Amino acid sequence: MELANRHILLGVTGGVAAFKACELARELQRRGATVQVAMTEAATRFIAPVTFQALTGRPVFTDQWDARIDNNMAHIELSRQADVVLVAPATADFMAKLAHGLADDLLSTLCLARNVPLLVAPAMNREMWAAAPTRRNVEQLRRDGVGILGPDSGDQACGETGMGRMLEPEDLVEDVIAALAPKPLAGRRVLITAGPTFEPIDPVRGITNLSSGKMGFAIARACRQAGADVMLVAGPTGLPTPRGVRRVDVRTAREMHQAVMGELGAVGSATYARSDVFIAVAAVADWRVANVSSSKLKKTADGAPPALEFVQNPDILAEVAARSDAPWCVGFAAESEDLEKNGQEKRLRKGVPLLVANIGHATFGRDDNELLLIDDRGMQLLARAGKDDLARDLVGQIGRRLPAGAG
């Protein structure tokens, strides 16, 4: 669980989005965190403290004069127990207080007294969000190192539509996990391919493989959590885009090739931001049908099967690795036998510093996997685990191997 052993101080201020904080408290706990709620007086007009107490199993604090804390310094006690303070929803008024260092109630005082990161999830009417004082306060909070999560654009409780909706609880949880994660890829640009490709035979048929895209998507998510700017080129999958990741969908190997080369730009081009790392996780079809039929193939009277001809697809990874401005490349190999030997051979053939071998039929579509990392120093096994856990380990390993300023 990604938030195991994490203690989160959840501050709730007085906006109608306070109802979403109930779901947020549950979701944080579901991921392993303990949650301590502190509310402003205004928040208690929207949700009763007893609701949060029941959801978190802990008494809720609203009053800076609360006598339940032994030394009567709730603002110090509560903030010292936390790994992070998350204020959701954060009203315009509360953000103004934070920006100016006001401390006239328990929550604002503990935000000022904290020695851990502060994240705020704004929630307000669109005009309040756009108002000049709010703009100034948000800018000031950013400069002060406060993480601003959202807001989103959409329908608002007041009946208007626009920017100012609080992020949904699951998005906030993703941002909290990312905020607490180590940052081995801070400031790096990472390009990832994932999923299968689909090579058409005729307008309704094609050739594909059993890759689900789960490993590649998990790696994209882990790279973003590790601080990278991530671009994901995805073959056909039904998977949702990991939060904070840019994505292009493609179908065929040639489309994938084009998307990757488009992202990298012409060799040496000064107008493109260079990718530092390329991780080729996609199970790209080695061949495509050369004689694709423009109409649906029909059975013939003599029962003869269609004569399909094949032509080889471009090897995206090998081509990227061979560029003079190549990013640091990571290849994947789905083998069915002799992982070590085949993996090492493939690493050298593709010309990549790191090759990750896995057993094809033991990973496709599954939620767990086992990875063998092969580089010029030897092998390292990442034992069977969930793909999110493995992705995080792998990204840590990439960060350790990446030369400073690589790319």
Q: Which residues contact ligand C5P by CB under 6 A?
A: 193, 253, 280, 282, 284, 286, 313, 315-317, 331-333, 346
334-338's contacts with Cβ under 8 Å and 24+ in sequence apart are 334/211, 334/283, 334/358, 334/359, 334/360, 334/363, 334/364, 335/359, 335/360, 336/360, 336/361
Please tell me the distance from the alpha carbon of residue 169 to that of residue 203, in angstroms, as a whole number: 41
Please tell me the distance from the alpha carbon of residue 233 to that of residue 227, in angstroms, as a whole number: 19
Residue closer to ligand C5P by CB (options 61, 332) is 332
Residue closer to ligand C5P by CB (options 82, 355) is 355
User: Length of the chain in residues, anyone?
Assistant: 407
Residue closer to ligand C5P by CB (options 243, 251) is 251
CB of 315 to ligand C5P, least distance (A): 4
CA 302 to chain centre: 54
Q: Could you give the angle at which helices 214-225 and 169-180 cross, rounded to 10 degrees?
A: 60
CB of 332 to ligand C5P, least distance (A): 4
Please tell me the distance from the alpha carbon of residue 31 to that of residue 29, in angstroms, as a whole number: 5
Residue closer to ligand C5P by CB (options 216, 399) is 216
Listing DSSP states for 278-331 in one string gives EEE--B--SEEESS--SS-----TT-PPP---EEEPP-HHHHHHTSTTPPEEEE
CB of 403 to ligand C5P, least distance (A): 21
Residue closer to ligand C5P by CB (options 117, 351) is 351
CB of 116 to ligand C5P, least distance (A): 39
CB of 282 to ligand C5P, least distance (A): 4
The residue whose two tokens read 């490993």 is 215
- Which residue among the candidates 111, 158, 223, 329 is catalytic per the annotation? 158
CB of 254 to ligand C5P, least distance (A): 10
Please tell me the distance from the alpha carbon of residue 178 to that of residue 230, in angstroms, as a whole number: 13
Please tell me the distance from the alpha carbon of residue 148 to that of residue 13, in angstroms, as a whole number: 15
Say whether 158 is catalytic: yes
Residue closer to ligand C5P by CB (options 95, 279) is 279
Alpha helix (H) residue ranges in 105-155: 106-113, 126-130, 132-143
Please tell me the distance from the alpha carbon of residue 6 to that of residue 363, in angstroms, as a whole number: 30
Residues annotated as catalytic are 158
